[in-house]
């Protein structure tokens, strides 16, 4: 079973050395094994757990909730039901996030198209300097 130095773990997981130490301090990682010189040696399992952490972080789970999940995992098999509940709730939140992002993205794209229209209008034979309609459109759309 292979073993990783802090540098390797940082490389693989994308967490900085400081962040790894921070996560251990706050208990998101259980105390990492040390070599004779007191330097950390991460196990395969540690790295796997960090993958899970990455996943939850990147989907917006706050650290406090990850700590709750961590506690469940440490609690052994009888907490599996609760873990499912927690992850399902999070999954729903992610779903929500995605659909809100999609909506907002659509609005942004409409805005882009609107700007495009403005550009081509501007490139046209120029509908005379005092153009109330054009102004209104600009005002209504920033």
Partner DNA sequence: GCTTGACCTGGAGCCCACTCCAGGTGGCAT
Partner DNA sequence: ATGCCACCTGGAGTGGGCTCCAGGTCAAGC
User: Which residues form the interface with DNA (CB under 7 A)?
Assistant: 5-8, 10, 16-19, 21-22, 36-40, 57, 62-64
CA 63 – CA 41 distance, rounded (Å): 23
Q: Does 59 bind a second copy (CB under 8 A)?
A: yes
The region of 3-11, 14-22, 25-33, 85-93 touching a second copy under the rule CB under 8 A is: 85-93
Q: Which of residues 35-54 bind a second copy (CB under 8 A)?
A: 45, 48-49, 52
Nearer to DNA, 52 or 136 (CB): 52
Q: Could you tell me the CA-to-CA distances from 52 to 15, 48, 55, 66, 69 in Å, in that order?
A: 12, 7, 5, 10, 11
Find, among 81, 142, 85, the residue nearest to 114 by Cα. Answer: 142
Nearer to DNA, 29 or 72 (CB): 29
CA 74 – CA 111 distance, rounded (Å): 49
Nearer to DNA, 23 or 72 (CB): 23
95 binds, among DNA, a second copy, none (CB under 5 to 8 A by kind): a second copy
Q: Could you tell me the CA-to-CA distances from 43 to 2, 21, 50, 77 in Å, in that order?
A: 7, 15, 11, 22
């Amino acid at each position: 079973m292979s073993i990783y130095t802090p540098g390797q773990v940082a490389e693989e997981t994308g967490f900085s050395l400081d962040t790894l130490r921070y996560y251990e301090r706050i208990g998101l990682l259980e105390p990492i094994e040390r070599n004779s010189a007191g330097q950390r040696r991460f196990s395969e399992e540690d790295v796997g757990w960090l993958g899970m952490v990455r996943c939850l972080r990147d989907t917006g789970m706050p650290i406090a909730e990850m700590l709750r999940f961590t506690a469940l995992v440490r609690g052994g098999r009888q907490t599996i039901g609760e873990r499912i509940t927690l992850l399902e709730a999070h999954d729903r939140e992610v779903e929500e996030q995605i659909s809100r992002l999609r909506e907002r993205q659509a609005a942004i794209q409409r805005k882009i198209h609107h700007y495009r229209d403005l550009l081509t209008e501007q490139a046209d034979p120029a509908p005379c300097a005092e153009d109330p309609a054009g102004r209104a459109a600009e005002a209504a759309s920033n």
